[in-house]
Structure formats: C-alpha cells, structure tokens
Structure 1
Amino acid sequence: MGFKIAVAGATGNVGREMLTILSERGFPADEVVALASSRSVGTEVSFGDKTLKVHNLDTYDFSDTDICLMSAGGAASLKYSPKIGAQGCVVIDNSSAWRYDAEVPLIVPEVNPDAIVGFTKKNIIANPNCSTAQLVVALKPLHDRATIKRVVVSTYQSVSGAGKDGMDELFNQTRAVFVADPIESKKFTKRIAFNVIPHIDVFMEDGYTKEEWKVLAETKKMLDPKIRVTCTAVRVPVFIGHSESVNIEFENEITADEAREILREAPGCQVIDKHENGGYITPYESAGEDATYISRIREDATVEHGLNLWVVSDNLRKGAALNTVQIAELLVNRGLIKAKKQAA
C-alpha cells in the first residue's frame, strides 16, 4: 500500500510544480491531497491526468497523512508545521522557517543524505534556498576531492523566485516598454524589465541581504562549517532558472580537467562545457529540467588552487519542488517511514 501525501500551498508556483513532479516520478502515493488557504478552497489543480480540488489547510486533519510537502510560506510553516509533525506526519518544508534550527535537518539528497535521520526530533525536514541547492550540488563532489576553503558566488536569479507576482511584473513591464505605457514597480524595488537589481530580500546590519546570508549559512550547515562563503544576489529579467558565477579556492590542487570529469560523474550534475560559441548552458535551456548544469569550468590563476564555474538550474524544480520530492523519496527508500494505513 502506498503513502498519503499532502501538498500545502498547492495553488502557488512551487506547489503546482510539486504535484507535477510527484506524478512525473511515480511517487508511491495512493492518495494526494491539495491544500491551501481558505480563499483558495475549491480551486482545481492538476496532478498528472487527474484534477484535485483544493482543501483548507487550516482545518485539515493530518492524522492519517504520511508526508506533507509544505510550500505555503514561512509564516504558515511556523504556524502549521509543528502541529502537523505532532500528528505523526513528516513535514518537508520549502520555506526558510526551519532551515537554521539545529533540530531540523537541512537536506539536499545528493549532498548530505545521511543527515536526514535527525528528522524524528520534530518531524520536520527543511529544503534549502533555491540558489543554495544548485550551488551545493556542484560544490559537494569538488569538496570531497580537493577540500574547499573559500567560495565567492554571484547569483543571477529569475523573477519566479519571487513568485507569480514577480513573473507578472516582468511580463507587464516588458509589454509596457514596447507599447510606451507607464512602468509600474510593485513587487521589486526598481524596474526589472531590461534591467538587473542587486537586491533580493531584506538588508541586514552588515550590508548583506538576507538572501546572501542564506547562501552562506546553508552551505556551511550542509557541506562544511569551515568553508568561507561570500555572496552577491542579483535579480535578473529571466522568468525561470537561476544562474551563478562561482569562484572556488581549494586547499589541494585540482585542475579544470579533473573538475570536469568529477562533475560529469556526480549525481544531479550535468556538464555542458565546450570552448565554443553556445557551448554552455543558459537559464532558458534549464527551465523544466532536473539537472544542475555546470559550464565555463576554468582555472583561476590569481590563487594557488582556484576554479571558476557557471552553474545553472531550474529554481522551481531543483531549487524547490524537485528537491522536496527527492527528500520524500529518500525517506521512503531508506525505510525511515511506513505508510500509516499499511501500519494500521
């Protein structure tokens, strides 16, 4: 008998993607329930060739549900996840609400799968920030080979990272440019159409933004607390797909050719790196794909053991929905949970 899965925040971009990926990957679910806030109750969402009606997250009983994929936002997760976990349902949360809790594992299955056993403390597992997820997938095999000392990353993040409102704003502003209409900025601090904005999330006291801090904190938690990380996060006028320019300094020698071969064999990675026009990946090409793509692998002659990489992935999939489903698969494949109906 299969599992009963709930998707909370099922009407959002990531929630819909979770439903799509559950179906695509043939997750062993006998029942899938779509949940959202009261204003979305009765809305229909797609799950494979089926249509699901959305139920009210606030009143839903999780006592017979095995896993809840939570994509309803940080405030909702703080409110609901402990209650859901207390009912014996494992929450895999896509927000930042639980990522820095010492009793909640932060998981990318290709990077730190063994850390998942800690979920039993609160019945909550955290999914990392979208830009961190693809970064650590690329860093992990290189760290295992040559030990990373320092990472300098600049992110070029698509507007879908800001949700449907961000995508709508790019579309509306782009259309306004072509028809000479006034341009309105509501979601972003400045115009995003034909522009880039070096600001994602709120500013912190040290001048970094919260988005930049997340990359630092999450990389250390999942990969190695000794790695020094600095980040600049930039919003770009792309609908789907985050890109990153990554400069890495290692303790030990590693060549670009070695890195290329290591990454070709690494789980979740796909190397597209030809020294010719178009011999690299762009975010447009990553949309709808599961892999973390690595291009422009080259040695950095300004440090003793350094490499530069270009890393691209679909932020709605590996950066959010896909990684969440992979965590659920990890729970099942390692026998860490049993279906409640089967156990009964």
Structure 2
Amino acid sequence: MSLTVAVVGATGMVGQEVLAILAERLFPADEVHALASRNSLGREVSYGDKTLKCQDLDQYDFSKATIAIFAAGGDVSKEYAPKAGKAGCIVIDNSSAFRLDPDVPLVVPEVNPDAVEGFVKKNIIANPNCSTAQLVVALKPLHDRAKIKRVVVSTYQSVSGAGKDAADELFRQTKGIFVGDDATSENFTKQIAFNVIPHIDVFMDDGSTKEEFKMTAETKKILDPSIKLTATAVRVPVFVGHSEAVNIEFENEISAEEATSILREAPGCLVVDKREDGGYVTPVECVGDFATFISRIREDPTVEHGLNLWVVSDNLRKGAALNAVQIAELLLNRGLLGDKVQMH
C-alpha cells in the first residue's frame, strides 16, 4: 500500500514525539513528511534512524498525504486542518480547536474506537486534552461495570504540557535558585520551581479554568454525557508525566478488589498497587512508556459506592503523540483510509 503521513509541528516537543512513536510502532508509512513554519525550513528532525528535512507548512500540498497529524497548536490547526481535510487528507489534531465540534469525533482508541468513523463529515479527528486522555482510559472499564455518577479529579500536571519554553523555564529557575539568581517567570503566572500553581489555561466566568472545563466537557463527549465531573488542574515542577488523584462515585457497588481485577485486564492500563513503600507509580517511572499507570486503588467510605485512584501517564505520549498514532492505526486497521491507500 502507498501511505503518506505528514506531521505538522515536527520541530515541537509533541511533533518530535509523534515521529519517534511512528518509528517505534513500525507504522507502515511509505513516506513521512515533516512540516513546520517557514522559519524551520530545512531544519532536520529524527524519524527512527532516518533524518527528515522540514518542509514549509504554508506551501505544502495536503493532497499528497493520506493522514496529517497536527501538533502545532490551535491557531495553526484552525487555519490549516480544514484545508487539509478538503484536500482529501484525514487530519488527526492534537489541539483543542475541534474537540467539541459536533461534526468532529473526539477519540481515545481504548475507550470509544467506533466514534472514529465520524471523521467523514470534515475529515478531522480530534485528540483529547492530555489530562482527559489518561483519565478516560482508567474510567472506561469501571464505568462499563458499575456506571459512574460523579468524578472529582485533582491533577498534578508537568510543565512539558505547556511546551518546550515552559520546560526550559523550570530548568532555568531551579538552577537559578541554587546560585541565588532571581526566579523570573515568563511562561507561568508564578514561580514554578519548588512551587505548585493551581492555574492552567485561562479563567472562565464561573471561576474554573479552561483546562478544568476541557476535562469535564471532553469526558462527557468521549465516555458518557451523564457523568458529572469537577476538576482542579494544577501545574507542578515535574518535567514529564501528568498525575491525577481521582475520586469516583458509582451507581452500583464495586469493591477495590474487583476494580483492581478489571483494570489489570483493561486495554492501555497497567496496575502497580502494592500498598507498601514505593508500591505505586510516580511520573519519573512513566516517562517513555505507553501505558496509563494506576495505583492507590481503594474504597471511599464517605459515599455509598466510591473508589479512589492515582493515575499517572506520560503526557507527551498517551496525552498527545501516542493517542494520535493509535488513531492512525485504528483508521488503517478498520480499512477507513479508502482509495487513498493503494496496493502496490
């Protein structure tokens, strides 16, 4: 078959991760095109053991690509994703631009794979927010068993979720504090080194932030509109890996033991829960891994049918790049690429 994948935003953290995962998972692309802004024209990026030269996004003919994975932010997606879709290319978009568009499926392959078929309306499929992706992977098998009524989630989100400049700021501030320099903030509203900031994205009229709104709205769209969810999203001084403390209230009875057994068998989940010193996963251990790790599974005695979980995942992978590549694999495996994929 002839299959061409274009990666938009190939020089960014998520774009580079997309290229790495396409190579790692041996995605059967005949050609991979790295696209970026004109400023990065000719810059080289790694794709497995190969090197690709960046092409100018503005001049690229999307009719040459079967799939385009967008990892360049909402403004770029809003401008170029519809153009790519109209050119017959199927877009998998990492930004928030189309997630709540009723004509665009919002897909996590382990959770709602059938939704992918809705791409035909606009030729666009949306990737959820990084914190939503790992959450719904953990919630789905439990919801199928005992029906979730309400979720309370507090996030501990790494700086890489805000991009390379944010990660550089954590490094710079941490180093500066040790040598007595000022910890000036450019990418965050407060000092991030040795601190936590209960503020991700812009504030909304009800006092929540857009990140918290995204988690609520996206979970409803992906999993079940009847689920009530409230979130507090917090940025922490960790380079890679988002963590979540999750409290779940169910309609039906479910024990911690049964939940553990269900999660051990669930796609995309890896349970590490030994109830002893170090018998749980932290962000440091999840980096570079594909799984959503689940620890600290226990019953909540303050509600009738309640559980608490600790959920950790590499936000650059499951929260972004991996999920996008899994969607591409889903399209391929379901034969949804149509005439664009021809047998040699």
TM-score range, shorter chain: over 0.9
What's the CA shift for 1:341?
6.0
* Structure 2: 5+ residue stretches without partners: none
Residues 106 and 126, structure 2, Cα contact 8 Å, conserved in 1: yes
Using the alignment, how far apart are the partners of 1:340 and 1:291 within structure 2?
31
Matched with 1:95 is: 95
What's the CA shift for 1:72?
1.1
Say whether 1:214 aligns with 2:224: no
- What is the correspondence of 1:81-160 to structure 2 with a 5 Å cutoff? 81-160=81-160
Q: After the TM superposition, which of the residue ranges 333-342 and 73-82 deviates more from structure 2?
A: 333-342
Residues 64 and 341, structure 1, Cα contact 8 Å, conserved in 2: no
Matched with 1:182 is: 182
Matched with 1:170 is: 170
Residues 287 and 313, structure 1, Cα contact 8 Å, conserved in 2: yes
SS across alignment from 1:214: helix
- Per-residue CA distance 1:223-267 (angstroms, 9 max, x = gap): 000000000000000000000000000000000000000000000
TM-score (norm 2): 0.99
Matched with 1:44 is: 44
SS across alignment from 2:42: coil
Query: In structure 2, do the counterparts of structure 1 residues 343 and 78 end up closer, same or farther at CA, with 3 Å as the change threshold?
Result: farther
Matched with 1:191 is: 191
Using the alignment, how far apart are the partners of 2:58 and 2:201 within structure 1?
27
Using the alignment, how far apart are the partners of 1:197 and 1:189 within structure 2?
8
* Structure 1: 5+ residue stretches without partners: none
- RMSD over aligned CA atoms reads 0.9
- What is the correspondence of 1:21-60 to structure 2 with a 5 Å cutoff? 21-60=21-60
Say whether 1:278 aligns with 2:289: no
> What amino acid maps onto 2:244 in structure 1?
E
SS across alignment from 1:68: strand
Residues 66 and 341, structure 2, Cα contact 8 Å, conserved in 1: no
- Per-residue CA distance 1:149-205 (angstroms, 9 max, x = gap): 000000000000000011000000000011111111000000000000000000000
What's the CA shift for 1:343?
6.8
Matched with 1:294 is: 294
SS across alignment from 2:62: coil
SS across alignment from 2:101: coil
Using the alignment, how far apart are the partners of 2:275 and 2:234 within structure 1?
26
Using the alignment, how far apart are the partners of 1:198 and 1:117 within structure 2?
37
Using the alignment, how far apart are the partners of 1:291 and 1:212 within structure 2?
23
Using the alignment, how far apart are the partners of 2:130 and 2:341 within structure 1?
33
- What is the correspondence of 1:244-263 to structure 2 with a 5 Å cutoff? 244-263=244-263
Using the alignment, how far apart are the partners of 1:162 and 1:216 within structure 2?
20
What's the CA shift for 1:2?
3.6
Residues 20 and 48, structure 2, Cα contact 8 Å, conserved in 1: yes
Residues 2 and 343, structure 2, Cα contact 8 Å, conserved in 1: no
Matched with 1:336 is: 336
What's the CA shift for 1:62?
1.1
Matched with 1:8 is: 8
TM-score (norm 1): 0.99
Say whether 1:323 aligns with 2:323: yes
The runs of 4+ residues in structure 1 deviating greater than 2 Å are: 338-341
Using the alignment, how far apart are the partners of 1:207 and 1:194 within structure 2?
25
Using the alignment, how far apart are the partners of 2:2 and 2:48 within structure 1?
17
What's the CA shift for 1:342?
1.7
Matched with 2:227 is: 227
Residues 7 and 70, structure 2, Cα contact 8 Å, conserved in 1: yes
What's the CA shift for 1:340?
2.7
Using the alignment, how far apart are the partners of 1:2 and 1:285 within structure 2?
38
Q: After the TM superposition, which of the residue ranges 61-70 and 246-255 deviates more from structure 2?
A: 61-70
What's the CA shift for 1:148?
0.1
Using the alignment, how far apart are the partners of 1:210 and 1:95 within structure 2?
13
SS across alignment from 1:29: coil
- Per-residue CA distance 1:75-126 (angstroms, 9 max, x = gap): 1100001110001000000000000000000000000000111000000000
> What amino acid maps onto 1:240 in structure 2?
V
SS across alignment from 2:63: coil
- Per-residue CA distance 1:293-333 (angstroms, 9 max, x = gap): 00000000000000000000000000000000000000000
Using the alignment, how far apart are the partners of 1:203 and 1:211 within structure 2?
9
Using the alignment, how far apart are the partners of 2:77 and 2:9 within structure 1?
10
> What amino acid maps onto 2:175 in structure 1?
R
